[in-house]
Structure 1
Amino acid sequence: MDWVRCVVGVGFWMQGFRCFPWLGVNFFLKDGLGVAPSSLQILQNSANLPMVAKPLYGLLSDAVYIRGQHRLPYVAIGALLQAVSWLAIASLPGSSISVGILTLFLLLSNLGASIVEVANDAIVAEAGKQSSSPSASGQLQSFAWMSASIAGALGNLFGGMAINQFSPRTMFLLFALLLVIQFVTTVAIPESSLDLPKKAGQPSKSSSISKQLSELSVALCKPEILHSIVWFSASYALVPLLTSTMFFYQTQHLKLDSSVVGLSKVFGQAALLAWSVAYDKYFEGTSARKVLSVLQLTTAFLMMSDALFVQGMYRKIGISDSMYVVIFSGLLEALFLFKVLPFSVLISQLCPAGCEGSVMAFAMSALALASIVSGYFGVALAAFLGVSGTNFSGLSVAILIEAACTMLPLYWSSWILDSGRPPRKKEE
C-alpha cells in the first residue's frame, strides 16, 4: 500500500473539507449573531493569524522529533486541537456564545489546521524528492490538490444543503467527529512506513532548531526563492478583497438561497480539481512565471465581470443572478487558489534538502499574512466608499478598484523564476 499517498490524501481531504463548518460559521455570524459585513471579514481574517506563524511550526517539525518521528505527530496534534475547538463551539450554551468567544475557538482551530498543513506540505516535498522521477513532486502536489478539491466540493455541497436542514452547531459537531477519526488513524500509522528521508542522528533540540534557522536563512537568501515568495505574497496583499461584502450582497440584497452559495463554492472546487488535473498533464513544462501571470490577469478580468454583474448587465441578457453566482463567482473564488499549485511546485523544486518544512511553511505563512492584509484592505475600501450590509451603491466602483489592484503585480512578474517542471518522460 502507498502510505504516502494515503496520508497525503487524507490530510489534504480534511484540509479541503474545512469549508463545511466554515460555511456554517458565515451564516451563524450573519443570522445568529447579526454581525455586519466588515465585522465578518475582520473576524474571518483575524482568525487566520495562527497561519502567519507557520515558519515556527515548520522549524519544529524539521528539528524536533517526537518518539523518533517528525511529521505524523504534528498532524495528530493539529487534528486534536481542531477537534477540541469545534467540539467546544458545538457544545457551548447559547447564552455564552459571543463574537469574542467564537473568535478564540476559531483561532485555536486554525492553529491546529496550520500545524497540519505544514506537516502535510513537508511530507509532499520530502516524498517527491525521494523518487527518481523529476516530476514526482509535481505529481504528488497535484494529487494532494485533487484530494483537497474533491473534499472542498463535497464540503460546500453538503454545507449548502445542511444549513437548510440542521443548525450550524450540528455541522460543527459532525466536522469535529471527522477530526477525531483523523487523529486516531494518524496515531496508528508509523512514520517509517512513509519512507521519508532521515537525518543522520538526532542532535539536541536547541542545536537542531538553530541549525534549521541557519538553513532557512541560507535558503531565503537565494534570490530565486526570496523574489518568488515576495511576488506571490504581493499578488494577494495588494488586492483589497471584498469577500464578505459580496456574501452579504448575494444573500441579503439578492436574497439568494444558501444552497446557491454552496453550489457556487462547489463549482469553484470542481474548477480547482480540473485545474489540478490539467496542470499535471498539460502545463508541467510551462514556466511558472507565465502560468502565474496569466492566472493573475484572468482574475482581474473576472473581477471586472463582477462589476457588470452588480450593475445588472447580465440580468438584461438573460443570465439569472443564481446562474452567475454559481458559475462566475465560484470560478473567481477558485482562481485565487489556482496560483498556489504552480507556486508550491516551484518552491518545492527550489527548496534545499533538509529544510522542506521550514521553507514551505515560510512561503505559506507569507501567503496567510498577505491574505489577512488583503482582507483588512477590503474592509477599509468598503468603508471608504460607504458600502455596508444595507448600502451597495458603491460596490461596483469598489470592485473596479479591486481589479485594478490585481493587475499591479504583473509589472514585476520578472521576479518569478522563469522555469517550469521538466516534462514527464513517456513510459516505454
Structure 2
Amino acid sequence: MVSSAGNPLRPLLGFGSFIQGFRGFPWMGVNFFLKDGLNVDSPTLQLLQSSANLPMVGKPFYGIVSDVIYFRGQHRIPYIATGVFLQAVSWLAIALLPLPNVSIITISIFLLLGNFGASIVEVANDALVAETGKQGSSSKNSQSSSMGELQSFVWMAASIGGVLGNLLGGIAVERFSAQAMFLAFGLLLIIQFFTTVSVHENSLNLPTNSSNSGIRKQFKELSLALRNPKIAYSLVWFASSYAIIPVLTGTMFFYQTEHLGLDSSVLGLSKVFGQAAMLLWSIIYNKRLKLIPPRKLISAVQATMAVFMLSDVLFVKEIYRNLGVPDSVYVVVFSGLLEVLFQFKVLPFSVLMAQLCPPGCEGSLMAFLMSAIALSTIVSGYLGVVLASYVGVSGDNFEGLPYCILIQAACTLMPLFWSSWIPSDVKPQKKKHKKDN
C-alpha cells in the first residue's frame, strides 16, 4: 500500500477503484440468481436492477457530510472503510443465507445496502482526487495536470477492474453457484477493508481544510453553484438525456439468454468488450478529443447511441443472422458497446462541470452530478418496464421488441433538439484571492 514516494494515496485509490470496477463480477451472478434461483420475470428483474441504485441518489449528502464531519482527525479514510464494510456485509449475507430463506425482498434489502456502501466509497474517492488536485503547486496548469493524471489513473483502474470482473464473472456463472461468487467478492472486500484501515489519512499529505464549514454552509455553496445558468441548464440537459430513454436491460437479458440461448460467457465477454472500449475511450479522449467543444462531442455520442439502437432493431429481426453474423458476435461487440456508450458522455461532461464549477465546490457538485445520473437511470429503468408492458413484451414474448427499440432510439434523439443548453466552449473558473501571500 506504499508507493515509491512513500505516499499510499495512489495504491489506496487504485485498489479501491479496481474493486469498485470489479463489482461487475457479483452482479453477473445476481442476474442469473434472480432469473434461475428466484424465478423472477423480466419486468421484476429490471425493477430490481433500477431500484438497487436508489442509494446513489444521496451522493451529495454523503459528500457534504464527509467534508465537515471528522473521525479522529480523518474525514475520508473512515468513510471509505465504512462503505467497504457495508458492501462486505451485504454480499456475505446473501452468500451465506440458505437459499430457502432468500426472497426477493431480502435480496433487495441487501443489494440496497451494498450500493449504499459503494456510493459512500465512490464519493470519498472522488473527494480525495479533488483534494489532491489542489495541493502542492501554485501553478494552475500544474494543478490541472496533476488532477487530470490522477483522474485518468482512477478511471483506468476501475476499467481494468471492470474488464477482469466481467470476464471472470461470465466464466464463474457456468462453473460455480451465484452464492459462491458473492462469497468470493465479500472476502475480497474484507481484504480491502483491512488494507484501508491500515492507512492513516495524515500519510496521504492532503491539503489542510482551513474552512471547516458546517453542513448548512456547504449546502449553501452548492446551491449558489447550481444557480449558475450554465451549470443548471447543462445539468438539466444531461439528466434528461438519460431519464427520457426507456432502457430495456432486463428485457434484453431475457432475450439473449432465454430466446437466443446464449451462454453466460458470451454476456461476460460483451461486458468485457464494453469495459475495454471505456478504457480506450479515456485514452483517446485525453489525447485527441478533449479540445473538441463539449456540446459537439456530447451530442455526437448521443447520436451514436441512437444509431446503435437502430442496429439492434436489425439484430432482433434476424437481419444480421441472415447475413452470416452469429448472434454471439453481435452481442459481444455491438451490445457491449451500446451498454457503455451511455457512460461515454460522463467523462467530457465531468470535465465541463469542473471548468464551470466555482473553486471550493468541486466535490459537492461532482457528487450532485453523479446522483443526478443515478436518479435519471432509475427513471429510465422504470420507463423501460412501462414501455415493454405497453407493447406486450415479456420474458417469453418478444414480438414487439423491435417497436420498443425504435421508440427507445427516437427518445435518444430527442435531447439533441435542446443541446444548445450545453455550452459550446468554456474557460475554467478562476479563484479570486482576497490577498496574495
Q: TM-score, normalised by structure 2?
A: 0.93
Kindly indicate whether the alpha-carbon contact (under 8 Å) linking 1:141 and 1:341 is maintained by their aligned counterparts in 2.
Answer: no
CA offsets 1:189-240 (integer angstroms, 9 cap, x no match):
222333333222646xxxx111111111111111222222111111100100
Task: Indicate yes or no: 2:120 matched with 1:110.
Answer: no
Match of 2:75 in 1: 70
Candidates 262, 274, 279, aligned match of 1:256: 262
From the superposition, tell whether residues 420 and 287 of structure 1 become closer, same or farther in structure 2 (CA, over 3 Å). Answer: farther
Instruction: Please say if 1:344 is aligned against 2:350.
Output: yes
- Percent identity at matched positions? 62
5+ long unaligned stretches in structure 1: 423-428
Match of 1:54 in 2: 59
Cα 1:383–1:22 change in 2 (3 A) is same
RMSD after superposition: 1.5
Instruction: Map Cα deviations across residues 150-188 of structure 1 (whole Å, 9 max, x no partner).
Output: 110100100000011110011001111111111111111
* 1:255-274 equivalences in 2 (<5 Å): 255-274=261-280
Q: Could you tell me which amino acid in structure 1 is paired with residue 130 of structure 2?
A: A
Cα separation, 1, equivalents of 2:252 and 2:170: 17
Contact 2:356 2:427 in 1 (8 A): no
Partners of 1:137 and 1:348 within 8 A in 2: no
The answer (yes or no) to whether the contact 1:302–1:328 under 8 Å persists in 2 is yes
Residue of structure 1 equivalent to 2:333: 327
Partner of residue 251, structure 2: 245
Aligned residues: 418
Distance 1:294 1:420 in 2: 18
Please tell me whether the aligned partners of residues 265 and 326 of structure 1 are also in contact (alpha carbons under 8 angstroms): yes
1:92 aligns with 2:94: no
**Unaligned 5+ runs, structure 2:** 429-437
Moved more, 64-73 or 324-333: 64-73
- SS of residue paired to 1:100: helix
Whether 1:279 and 2:276 are equivalent positions in the alignment is no
Q: Does 1:193 align with 2:203?
A: yes
State whether residues 355 and 426 of structure 2, in contact with CA within 8 Å, keep that contact through their aligned partners in structure 1: no
Whether 1:372 and 2:399 are equivalent positions in the alignment is no
Give 1:38 shift.
0.3
- Which amino acid is the alignment partner of residue 19 of structure 1? G
Q: Name the counterpart of 2:130.
A: 125
What secondary structure, in the 3-state scheme, does the structure 2 residue paired with 1:53 have? Answer: helix
Q: Deviation string for 1:299-346 (max 9, x for gaps)? A: 110000001000001011110000000000001001111111112222
Letter in 2 for 1:139: E
Aligned partner (choices 33, 36, 59) of residue 38 of structure 2: 33
CA distance in 1 between partners of 2:126 and 2:347 (Å): 12
Over 3 Å counting, the alpha-carbon distance change for 1:348 and 1:73 in structure 2 is: farther
Cα distance, 1:264 vs structure 2: 0.5
The residue identity in structure 2 corresponding to 1:80 is: F
**Cα distance, 1:246–1:153 mapped onto 2, change above 3 Å:** same
CA distance in 2, matches of 1:229, 1:377: 20
TM-score when normalising by structure 1: 0.94
**Distance change >3 Å, CA 192–CA 418, structure 1 → 2:** farther
Corresponding residue of 1:425: none
Q: In 2, distance between residues paired with 1:419 and 1:61? A: 33
Supply the distance in 2 between the matched residues of 1:189 and 1:27 (Cα, whole angstroms). 37
1:174 equivalent in structure 2: 184
**Native 8 Å contact 1:58 1:359 kept in 2:** no
Distance 1:176 1:64, change over 3 A: same
In structure 2, relative to structure 1, the CA distance for the partners of 1:182 and 1:145 (3 Å cut) is same
Deviates more, 1:254-263 or 1:138-147: 138-147
Q: Is the 8 A contact 1:36 1:389 kept in 2?
A: yes
Show the 5 A alignment for 1:377-388: 377-388=383-394
The counterpart of 1:233, out of the listed 225, 232, 239, is 239
Taking a change above 3 Å as real, the CA distance of residues 43 and 176 of structure 1, as seen in their structure-2 partners, is same
2-structure distance, mates of 1:62, 1:14: 23
Q: Once structures 1 and 2 are overlaid, which stretch shifts more, 55-64 or 38-47?
A: 55-64
Distance 1:231-1:201 versus aligned 2 partners, 3 A rule: closer
